[in-house]
Amino acid sequence: MKFRLRALAFVAGAVGVATAASTTNTEPIQPIVRTPPADSRMVELGKKLFFDPRLSKSGFISCNSCHNLSMGGTDNVRSSIGHQWARGPINAPTVLNASFNVAQFWDGRAADLKAQAGGPIANPGEMGFSHEMAVDVLRSIPQYVDEFTRVFKKAPLDIDQVTLAIAEFEKTLVTPNSRFDKWLQGDAKALTAQELAGYQLFKGSGCVACHNGAAVGGNSFQKMGLVAPFKSDSTSLGRYEVTKQETDKHFFKVPTLRNVELTYPYFHDGSAATLRDAVDVMGKVQLGRSFSADENGQIVAFLKTLTGDQPNIVLPVLPPSGDKTPRPQPFE
């Protein structure tokens, strides 16, 4: 506790001598704070499930296939590859810091991470399985049965337990300690002059109206193509698909900009390959302005300061299938 008080005093000291956000943060972006998981055994089980391709019909695709924790929680392709190489209709959003989102999926059709986790398993173009078959597989694996029973105290295991465990694991996937957060917390030297100029421009030109909060986004739905049409080869109508309200057409959940350096390509259609492209397009279609090359460079430099500590993941060892476990069917 003494150490903690001293650390705070040091931070306060830093604020006193330099241009930095104070510990009583009045910035529109808040630092990410990691909170310990409620149930670490459930998290460990959820991690196994997240990495287990037996939740797919092929035995080849796991949650981590498209939300790859080596690659910012994304797959870094325009649209995901699903069962039998199906081409996904939309760019896979990052799972990192997804617990901060107001809802899940680009159109917000899942209220929370638990509701989201069941989607891809049963989507014919993603994992190509069904909840029933996934549960059958897990119930046939002795070590999983034991582990679910230990965690949930209720047998037999079911899809609610599966998706809850995955969601609890995903809640741990937060990325604190970005350089920008250090700056927010009072370390004036955490940003270069160019990065700070980029942040001022990001605030001053209106990006921050949508990209704010701890996740620098994720907390509202906004129209893609607000001041100029956004041309896309995606047929998704966004939030409208959920609400069927005419006014929700082309509204999408504002993506988090945390770790955006790692989560290329950008937008729901993955059409922006680089941050430079993305900033350019956002300026034009959302703000009605063209950023100069210098301004673009400043904003991109700022965005790269949002890369935080990536989750420290020890690869799980998955329990082996039993003799009666239904086998994957990749080619059937």
The nearer residue to its own copies, 14 or 92, going by C-beta atoms, is 92
Nearest in space to 50 (alpha carbons), one of 321, 331, 294, 313: 313
The nearer residue to its own copies, 25 or 143, going by C-beta atoms, is 143
The least distance separating its own copies from the CB of residue 295, rounded to whole angstroms, comes to 17
The nearer residue to its own copies, 108 or 328, going by C-beta atoms, is 328
Count of CB atoms situated within 10 Å of the CB of 74: 23
Residues between 80 and 109 with contacts to its own copies, criterion CB under 8 A: 81, 84-85, 87
List 126, 147, 168, 195, catalytic entry: 126
Is residue 159 within the footprint of its own copies (CB under 8 A)? no
Long-range contacts (CB closer than 8 Å, 24 or more residues apart) made by 13-18: 14/186, 14/187, 14/188, 15/186, 15/188, 17/188, 18/188, 18/189
> Which residue do the tokens 């670490």 mark?
40
Number of residues engaging its own copies in binding (CB under 8 A): 42
What is the CA 311 to chain-centroid distance, rounded? Answer: 12
Residues between 106 and 125 with contacts to its own copies, criterion CB under 8 A: none
| Angle at CA of residue 140, ends 135 and 145, nearest 5° | 80
Is residue 332 within the footprint of its own copies (CB under 8 A)? no
The nearer residue to its own copies, 212 or 296, going by C-beta atoms, is 296
Q: Which stretch binds its own copies (CB under 8 A): 45-53, 93-101, 150-158, 196-204?
A: 45-53
**What is the pattern of x (binds its own copies, CB under 8 A) and - over residues 269-308?**
----xx-x--------------------------------
Q: Which amino acid is at 235?
A: T
The nearer residue to its own copies, 233 or 246, going by C-beta atoms, is 233
Q: With helix as H, strand as E and coil as C, how does 98-167 read? A: HHHCCCECCCCCECCHHHHHHHHHHCCCCCCCCHHHHHHHHHCCHHHHHHHHHHHCCCCCCHHHHHHHHH
d(CA 147, CA 139): 11
**What is the pattern of x (binds its own copies, CB under 8 A) and - over residues 237-266?**
------------------------xx-xx-
Q: Which SS3 state, helix, strand or coil, does residue 81 take? A: strand
Annotated catalytic residue 126: yes
Exposure string over 75-85, b if 16+ CB within 10 A, otherwise e: bbebbbbbbee
Among 20, 32, 51, 279, binds its own copies (CB under 8 A): 51
Question: Tell me, what DSSP letter sits at residue 60?
Answer: -
The nearer residue to its own copies, 70 or 292, going by C-beta atoms, is 70
Note the residues at the interface with its own copies (CB under 8 A): 51-54, 58-60, 65, 68-72, 75-77, 81, 84-85, 87, 261-262, 264-265, 273-274, 276, 310, 312-318, 320-321, 323, 327-328, 330-331
